[in-house]
Amino acid sequence: MRNLFERLVDPRTLPIVVTLVLFVALFGFGSVMYTGFFSMQVLVGLLIDNAFLLIVAIGMTFVIVSGGIDLSVGSVVALTTILCAVGTERLHWPVWVIVPIVLVLGTLYGAAMGALIHFFKLQPFIVTLAGMFLARGTCFLITTQSITINDPTFHALSGYHFGVGSASLSTGALIAIVTLLIAIFVAHFTRFGRNVYAVGGNERSALLMGLPVARTKVGVYALSGFCSTLGGIVFTLYVLSGYGLQGQGMELDAIAATVIGGTLLTGGVGYVIGSVFGVGILGTIQTLITFDGTLSSWWTRIVIGALLCAFCLLQRFIERHAARRKSSGPGLGKRVSARRTRRPTQPDGTDQAEPLAMEPGR
């Protein structure tokens, strides 16, 4: 029992535990307050309505774990909807030609940004900002209008439903679940995943250990590009149109979901499954506000901002706690030497590599 408690307050798992508790609490609050909230269909509806955000947030989790940030995801989603719509409505290409082409383009786009960030040592923030401008501008260069998709295959894919008990899943939700499973596998059971955690924990020591830092960093941004393109395809199926103003502010939602899901912004710590609950919390807030009916839509943004703030404060607290623990030896109770942490050149504090960063799968 004590062992379980210690695992719960471990700095690596504490944020995700808080997220899980918050998600259950929010959902429980909704079930108590509103009739018809506690049903399988509402839970599945969360997944269906937020499938695209979930896929985008999964890519964002990898980027943030590697210590970077990707601001271009929202505009890549918009560009994907436009490319899908133009491909099917103007060029009359079949779906199975468009989708692979768009996915490859998105991956290359992400990889190009990653290459700029790694080889030119530019800040991820500024490069992906330029990527955001470029993708959004390209959307408007292609068309400034909204293109409705009338292609029967798209409609068939969009209308497909997979029955699970009393509820049914849409194609987008199925894609999201498959992406999630693959992402968890990649993050925790492959070399690439381990490298991402290592690079995020401390890039220099990862390089000294002989890990392929360049390949990992470019790969992470390529993965994020792929995920945002896939999210864009799911979004296209969801709205069945292409428009350049789509997905505005989605990068903020994805970052918020990742942070609320317990990924540390300094890199090296975080779980893909946490982002799922992060997206779940954002979706539940939206559903709650819809169910209530008297609250206006802008409360969503305020509540998300407040949650983001609370989780960032929690992260700071955990970081300080971890730093204190690191420099005062193994014991949690040795608070006497806490004052020494102020001096970073302490002999026992010289090991700057985060010990908790290297063990993602434990």
List the interface residues with another protein, window 48-107 (CB under 8 A): 69
How many other C-beta atoms can be found within 10 angstroms of the C-beta atom of residue 319?
Answer: 16
The most distant pair of C-alpha atoms in the chain lies apart, rounded to whole Å, by 72
Site membership for another protein, residue 116 (CB under 8 A): yes
Q: Taking the complex as a whole, how short is the minimal distance between the CB of residue 92 and another protein, in angstroms?
A: 25
Q: Whose CA is closest to 81, among 200, 311, 240, 258?
A: 240
φ, ψ for residue 169, nearest 5 deg: -105, 145
Site membership for another protein, residue 337 (CB under 8 A): no
Site membership for another protein, residue 20 (CB under 8 A): no
Q: For residues 74 and 112, give the distance between their C-alpha atoms in angstroms, rounded to a whole number.
A: 17
**Closer CB to another protein, residue 20 or residue 264?**
264
E strands along the chain, which residues?
Answer: 147-148, 161-164, 167-170, 241-242
- Select the span of 90-98, 135-143, 170-178, 197-205 touching another protein (CB under 8 A): 135-143
Helix spans in 50-123 (H): 51-65, 73-89, 95-119
Residue 73 near residue 230, CB atoms below 8 Å: no
Residue 217 near residue 114, CB atoms below 8 Å: yes
**Closer CB to another protein, residue 57 or residue 169?**
57
Site membership for another protein, residue 298 (CB under 8 A): yes
Q: Taking the complex as a whole, how short is the minimal distance between the CB of residue 245 and another protein, in angstroms?
A: 10
Antiparallel, parallel or unpaired: β 147-148 and 167-170: unpaired
List the interface residues with another protein, window 229-248 (CB under 8 A): 244
Residue 157 near residue 329, CB atoms below 8 Å: no
Please report how the helices 191-201 and 171-189 are oriented relative to each other, as an axis angle in degrees rounded to 10: 70
The one-letter code for the residue type at 194 is R
- Select the span of 97-105, 123-131, 202-210, 331-339 touching another protein (CB under 8 A): 123-131
- Select the span of 40-48, 86-94, 127-135, 219-227 touching another protein (CB under 8 A): 127-135
- Select the span of 35-43, 96-104, 223-231, 305-313 touching another protein (CB under 8 A): 305-313
Site membership for another protein, residue 136 (CB under 8 A): yes
How many other C-beta atoms can be found within 10 angstroms of the C-beta atom of residue 103?
Answer: 17
Q: Taking the complex as a whole, how short is the minimal distance between the CB of residue 357 and another protein, in angstroms?
A: 17
Q: Which of 86, 103, 177, 252 binds another protein (CB under 8 A)?
A: 252
Q: Which of 255, 272, 285, 322 binds another protein (CB under 8 A)?
A: 255
**Closer CB to another protein, residue 291 or residue 299?**
299
Q: Which of 21, 33, 108, 126 binds another protein (CB under 8 A)?
A: 126
**Closer CB to another protein, residue 26 or residue 71?**
71
The count of residues in the chain is 362
Residue 9 tokens read as 């307050």
- Residue 356, Cα to own-chain centre: how many angstroms? 21
- The binding site for another protein (CB under 8 A) comprises 69, 116, 119-123, 125-127, 129-134, 136-141, 144, 244, 252, 255-256, 259, 265-266, 296-302, 304-306, 308-309, 312-313, 316
